[in-house]
Chains A and B, each alone.
Chain A
Amino acid sequence: MSSPRIGVFVCHCGLNIERTVDTQSVSETLRQYSGVAFVSDYDYMCSDPGQQLVSDAIREHRLTGVVIAACSPAMHEPTFRRAADDAGLNSYLVEMANIREHCSWVHLDRAEATAKAVKIIKTMVEKVRGNHPLDPVRIDHVDKCLVIGAGITGIQAALDVADAGFQVLLVEKEPSIGGHMAQLSETFPTLDCSQCILTPKMVEASRHPNIELLTYSEVLDVAGYVGNYTVKIRKNPTYVDPDKCNLCGDCEKVCPQSVPSEFERGLVDRKAIYIPFQQAVPSTYTLDEHSCLGLQPLRCSECAKVCAPGAINFDMQPEILQEEVAAIIVTTGYDMYPILNLGEYGGGDVPDVIDGLQFERMLSASGPTGGQVRRPSDGRVPKRVVFVQCAGSRDPENHNAYCSKICCMYTAKHALLYRHAVPESEAIIFYIDIRAGGKGYEEFVQNATEHEQIQYLRGKVAKIYREGDKVMLWGVDTLSGKKVEIEADLVVLALSMDPHPSTLALTKTLKISCGGEGFLKEAHPKLRPVETLTAGIYVAGAGQGPKDIPESVAQGSAAAAKTIALLTQDKLSHSPETVSIDEEICGGCGVCVGMCPYTALSLTAAGVAECNEVLCEGCGTCVSACPTGAAQLKNLTDFQLREMIEVALADG
């Protein structure tokens, strides 16, 4: 190869770099460096004229490589690679030398920072010297996407993708879609009826020609890569043929087995054969084999005897489906923090200490009390209800460290709806502080305090216990500094939000990660909130972190937009900066194969390792494990790294 002609472009980034790094002197030094054919500096390299400077220099000086000394490659690498490409230079011959985040922003001494900037740039010149032109890997893809979890977020995402003309597979664990929103009464801040705004979307999802609904189903296994994931799904048997079931409910009447209703949060029982709620989608009964008296051997069969259309089939088997999808949207939502963990609040022990979702069911017109607030213990209408915010949240020593974000709002809503439902009642709220950020949210809380005579007590509740038919609360009013003791008829805990219990196992199946709190982890909290680090897998809704309906829906649509952007591409492209195996060196020891987190490696029949570059994310795990150096990252070989380290450690 003819000798390299590398161009170095030093950015001032306004004063961001120039303030601490002497870009003039950096440029002078680099001009003398071997292999460097052109050096220029500019106020904002990323601006149009800045990019033009790069393209012009590539053409005029026949540059064979480019180093942009500016910000992090995470910011502008694509910008400059595109500019180079336009000028006819392969984009993989362009590298960023980060003299901002790694230098000017973290140093004060101008002389030292300038010297360091020179070093950083020289290491990147060495890298570019060893780079080869590469072409992106092109991948064909299928035209379908999978949505896991059919709460409001999953439904929204599925509808958006389906409306764009692509096939969607919507998988839900429970017998009905709808998620938690189906359980809510009215929703803050506008107080519209939750079911009334949700059910049209549920129906639309079930009728949409592009959506295939798989309820009572779970994702067992996922293999493959963006554009071509192969998923295995188990459809659990409902033992009821939905096409025959006419919803007469005769089976339910005769079933002798009762268990607490999940949908009603245990406020009432359901039968072993049941429909979770009236507007359930799909609209059919489900026989829950765990609470049924026994299918194998068949013990009871009362339901089948009375089912006129003969919809009940005890021989139904689980079905395993295999599907190909291009992208996966994970919207598995949340669960309540276990009330049993709050022993100090009488959780699980005092019947008139309930959680927010139970209260939603009481307030709901379709709920077990027909919208009346009644005590679980004796059915009496409570005259004084105390609401306790942050129950299990913001308590790193004992419970969850994080703020569940929505409880301030729904507690204000609960108190307000309660005051409307029960005249002459008293609503008291214990709070640490009120977090009501959001459109119309602060106004909603203000209205509740001013016009609804809701009493806000700032402080923490220490203990809740039962005394006679009352519930006693001990706490401290931190504003007056006085101890308070309150006698209540009913206590509602605003329990912390946990990720859905299936989250951890599912992330392992999908090979994506969870954050420390267990919620689905996004690729970047600000700039890539619905993407994961695995291409083609997106996250949205309350499964990604506590959030309310508007935010969940927005994220659902965002994940759908990302998916649509992927599906509309003719072919997908994948970075060619992957691993290559030198077959002359690889002896097939197989060490690398088990290391790859993306299962990109295998041993061929000839006994050498082989990398599927579509799967390889270029993480380098195998490279460090490979004992022969046969596995090397393209454009970041051990040889390049050694050259880079050598200039980084050299004097001057």
Chain B
Amino acid sequence: MAKAKIGIYWAAACGGCDCALLEVNEQILDVVAAADILLWPCAADPKYSDLRGYKNGEIDIVLFNGAIRTQENRELAQLIRTKTKYLVAFGSCAQSGGVIGLANQSSRDEIFSTVFGDQANWPQLSSNQDGYDLHLPEFLPRLTNLAEVVEVDYVVPGCPPPKQIVSALFTALVAGDLPATGTVFASSKNLCEECSREREQLKITQILRPHAHESDPDKCLLDQGFMCMGPATRGGCLAVCPAANMPCTGCAGPTANIRDQGAAMLNTVASLIGTGEEGEDQLAAEDAILAQFDDIVGTFYRFGAATSIFKERYHERNATTR
């Protein structure tokens, strides 16, 4: 059997996904034994020309991590798509935009002012430094996930993807036994199924934040008032966060039937909020609970803002492109 050819690529990413690949420890040796790694910017130093040099479909599979933030991310995603048979959205950013998708709440100008300050300091698309023409890729008006730009064959969720899931992917890869395209490498059920905390289906009577309040280690965090995203999130991670007293933040994305993870969880929370009061008192009590929320988008759309129904905050686009 010919050795498989694999690639690993990062777009708008933090580097965590690349590290996560190594979490499988020795298993990486099996991978290297069974496959040639043609592309891995984090480990080697490939050039655009190397990639362009491959024949269409020459690479068997590319694990793509990171979101699409710049024109360069987009072009490379398109190029890689032509060169590989299978494309994997690896990690939350490729899957759903990830944490950095929260930037879609701000316009490009707002982001630039925050990061670079005065407009004079903003980066220019073309400039001349010491006699050299420098070009920067365009900063896209809106961040997207990988699937909005090119067709994706598999999804490996997680921020970063947990060891046992990466390992399952490698096992399938080494055995040449990839599942049907469209497969998400995670549980089909929600996280509560894997969580050992006890749920009592109480009402949510208060909103607590994990850094400010101690939690009961045995009881469901949501029942206690901590906004655990577990109910609206795919399992597969074995509920390591709730086990460590951290509410699930939703990094694995929603289950198959859900279009918008944040909206699904908001519906759930809205259904559970209440104190048992009735009539006018009930409304007042519910309002008082709702007022305890600090950051609704950050809580419920931490990883899914860019792929939510709205995708971005509505604002008049800046007419000048940079």
List chain A positions with a Cβ less than 8 A from chain B.
Answer: 582, 584-591, 593-595, 607, 621, 624-630, 632, 638-639, 642
Tell me the minimal C-beta distance from B86 to chain A in angstroms: 24
CB closest chain-A residue, reference B256:
A585
Cα–Cα distance between A630 and B188 once the two chains are bound (Å): 10
Contact call A585/B257, Cβ cutoff below 8 A: yes
Partner among A591, A630, A638 whose Cβ is within 8 Å of the Cβ of B272: A591
A–B pairs, 8, beta carbons within 8 Å: A586-B189, A591-B201, A591-B272, A595-B271, A624-B271, A625-B271, A627-B267, A628-B231
CB contact between B235 and one of A587, A627, A638, A642 (< 8 Å): that residue: A587
Least Cβ–Cβ distance between B242 and chain A, in angstroms: 12
Q: A628-B231, A628-B258 are in contact. Are A589 and B199 (CB under 8 A)?
A: yes
Q: How many angstroms from the CA of A638 to the CA of B263 in the assembled complex?
A: 13
CA distance A595 to B271 in the complex (A): 8
How long is the Cα–Cα vector from A630 to B232 in the complex, in angstroms?
11
B192 interfacial contact with A, CB 8 Å: yes
Contact A590 B267 (CB under 8 A): no
B96 at interface, CB cutoff 8 A:
no
- Tell me, rounded to whole Å, the shortest Cβ–Cβ distance linking B244 to chain A: 20
| Distance of A639 Cα from B232 Cα, bound (Å) | 17
B219 at the interface (CB under 8 A from A): no
Verify A628–B271 contact, CB threshold 8 A. Answer: no
Interface readout for B212-251 with A: 1 if CB under 8 Å, 0 if not?
0000000000000000001110010000000000000000
- State the total of A-B contacts with C-beta under 8 angstroms: 80
Q: Which residue of B lies closest to A638 (CB)?
A: B257
Q: Please, how many angstroms separate the alpha-carbon atoms of A638 and B264 in the complex?
A: 11
The answer to whether A627 touches B232 (Cβ under 8 A) is yes
Residues in B neighbouring A589, C-beta threshold 8 A? 190, 192-193, 199, 230-231
Taking CB atoms, residues of chain B closer than 8 Å to A584 are: 188-189
Tell which of A582, A595, A624, A629 has the most Cβ of chain B within 10 Å: A629
Question: Judging by beta carbons under 8 Å apart, are B257 and A629 in contact?
Answer: yes
Task: Report the separation of the CA atoms of residues A193 and B272 in the bound assembly, to the nearest whole angstrom.
Answer: 57
> Would you give the 0/1 interface string for B180-203, flagging 1 where the beta carbon is closer than 8 Å to chain A?
000000011111111000010100
For the residues of A in contact with B, the DSSP-based class is loop
Q: Contact at A587–B193, with CB atoms within 8 Å? A: yes
Contacts of B256 in A (CB 8 A): 585, 629
CB distance from B239 to the nearest CB of A (A): 10
Q: Is there an interface contact between B192 and A588, defined as CB atoms closer than 8 Å?
A: yes
CB contacts (< 8 Å) of B199 on chain A: these are 589-590
What A residues does B193 contact at CB under 8 A? 587-589, 607
Of A588, A607, A625, A639, the residue contacting B268 (CB under 8 A) is: A625
Cα(A582)–Cα(B257), bound, Å: 10
B145 at the interface (CB under 8 A from A): no
The docked-state distance in angstroms from the alpha carbon of A496 to that of B103 is 63
Cα A589 to Cα B191 in complex, Å, equals 8
Chain B residues with CB under 8 Å of A607's CB are: 193
Check A624/B259 contact, CB under 8 A, given A588-B192, A589-B199, A594-B201: no
Residues of B within 8 Å of A590, CB to CB, are 192, 199, 201
Whether the Cβ atoms of A625 and B267 lie closer than 8 Å is yes
Which A residues are CB-close (under 8 A) to B190?
585-587, 589, 627-628
Q: Which residues of B contact A625 (CB under 8 A)?
A: 267-268, 271-272
Instruction: Report chain A residues within 8 Å CB of B156.
Output: none
Query: What is the CA–CA distance of A324 and B261 in the complex, to the nearest angstrom?
Result: 44
Complex CA–CA separation, A621 to B267 (angstroms): 10
**Which chain A positions have C-beta within 8 A of B189?**
584-588, 628
CB distance from B227 to the nearest CB of A (A): 12
- With A585-B255, A628-B255, A630-B255 in contact, is A591–B271 under 8 Å at CB? yes
Structural contact, B259 and A585, CB atoms closer than 8 A: no
* Interface residue? B162 (CB, 8 A): no
B188, B190, B199, most chain A CB atoms within 10 A: B190
Inter-chain pairs besides A588-B189, A627-B232, 8 sampled, C-beta below 8 Å: A582-B257, A590-B192, A595-B271, A624-B267, A625-B271, A625-B272, A628-B189, A628-B264
B66 within 8 A of A: no
Asked if A628 contacts B259 (CB within 8 A), the reply is no
- CB-CB < 8 A to A593: which residues of B? 201
Say yes or no for B252: interface residue by CB 8 A criterion: no
Could you say which residues of chain B place their CB within 8 Å of the CB of A629? 254-258, 264
